[in-house]
Structure 1
Amino acid sequence: MQKDLEKNFLEVFEKNQNIAHKICRVYTTNQSAHNDLFQEITIQLWKNYPKFRGDSKFSTWMYRVALNTAISLYRKSTRTVKTQDITDFAYKIKATDYDDTEEIQLRSLYKAIHQLNDIDKALIFLYLEDKPYKEISETLGISSVNARVKMNRAKEKLKNILNP
């Protein structure tokens, strides 16, 4: 049973690991922090995978866990990431290199996004991922109406940062 669970997790994680990389890019400013946050997100996903009921798509659940992990870690004033050892199954994950070609073009946007608060970062991130408001509200645990209102405010803040 544990082997099946592990096999299923590895399969869906490998297909969706770019979600974690993108969240790491939004919430970190250097490769070392990116790697630490990616590892912590992976750990949290693995620890919580047995609780995944399949009520939503795996990717929606993954966004929620990954964003909550990133937000909670980076709200701490120390800005350090405490990681756990995952050597018992980490070697089984086939990590792919993160293609940053598009990111080079979006550097100024990411710089502006870094200036937003954690919730606004999450909203903008999900918006850029073309998630519908229903999925955004489910991911963040807020109503669809609240997601729309917060999104409009976050877009306005971002516009003001990019065009002072």
Structure 2
Amino acid sequence: MQTKQEQQFLNDFEQNQNIVHKVCRIYTSNQDAHNDLFQEITIQLWKNYSKFRGDAKFSTWMYRVALNTAISLYRKSSRSIKTQDISDVAFKIQSHDYDDTEEQQLKALYKAIHKLNDIDKALIFLYLEDKPYREISETLGISEVNARVKMNRAKDKLKKVLNP
């Protein structure tokens, strides 16, 4: 029997789990690492759900937890992720169909993004999610002006990687 809080978390998570998958795709290079990071982010979201006050949208809070978890895990020198079993919870994963050209372009973009540093990855990710600079700055804990400056630099780096 699920509590009201568990049910609310599952509903919120299910509606926004694509955020976690996208963060995992930005910060990992293979399916096993993606799965491990997805699990760790999910655990961190659940552990911190009671602290979510609703001051921001759930998705904004989710971006922040997911990005902070990914960045902190991948800054560690070992690059190994400790996971915990969450077998009691099942999540729906939707797949999207892309044509071959879109898939190749997407793979090239992700390959280029993987070459950026952690903060630049987060900035580009949020930008690609069409988040306004105000929300980007809130999510990353920096000023809006700083977010704009860092974004322009990250875009320049990405252009250089995509068009050497």
Fold in common (TM above 0.5): yes
What does 1:114-133 align with in structure 2 at a 5 Å threshold? 114-133=114-133
The equivalent residue for 2:69 is 69
Closer/same/farther in 2, CA of residues 136 and 114 from structure 1, 3 Å limit: same
Quick check: 1:113–1:158 contact (8 Å CA) kept in 2? yes
What does 1:74-93 align with in structure 2 at a 5 Å threshold? 74-87=74-87, 89-90=88-89, 93=90
Measured in 1, the distance between the counterparts of 2:37 and 2:123 equals 19
Aligned residues: 160
The equivalent residue for 1:50 is 50
Deviation at 1:94, TM superposition (A): 3.0
Measured in 2, the distance between the counterparts of 1:66 and 1:13 equals 12
Calculate the aligned-residue CA RMSD, in Å.
1.3
TM-score by length of 2: 0.93
Deviation at 1:147, TM superposition (A): 0.2
TM-score by length of 1: 0.93
Closer/same/farther in 2, CA of residues 73 and 98 from structure 1, 3 Å limit: farther
**1:34 aligns to 2:34 (yes or no):** yes
Q: Secondary structure at the match of 2:148?
A: helix
The equivalent residue for 1:143 is 143
Structure 1 stretches (4+) deviating beyond 2 angstroms? 97-105
Q: Which runs of 5+ in 1 are unaligned?
A: none
What amino acid does structure 1 have at the position aligned with 2:112?
A
Measured in 2, the distance between the counterparts of 1:124 and 1:100 equals 23
The equivalent residue for 2:94 is 97
Closer/same/farther in 2, CA of residues 85 and 23 from structure 1, 3 Å limit: same
> Comparing 134-143 with 71-80, which one deviates more in the overlay?
71-80
Measured in 2, the distance between the counterparts of 1:94 and 1:27 equals 21
Quick check: 1:21–1:98 contact (8 Å CA) kept in 2? no
Closer/same/farther in 2, CA of residues 125 and 132 from structure 1, 3 Å limit: same
The equivalent residue for 1:19 is 19
Quick check: 1:133–1:144 contact (8 Å CA) kept in 2? yes
Provide Cα deviations, 1:40-93, integer angstroms capped at 9, x if missing partner.
000000000000000000000000000000001111111111111223x32xx3
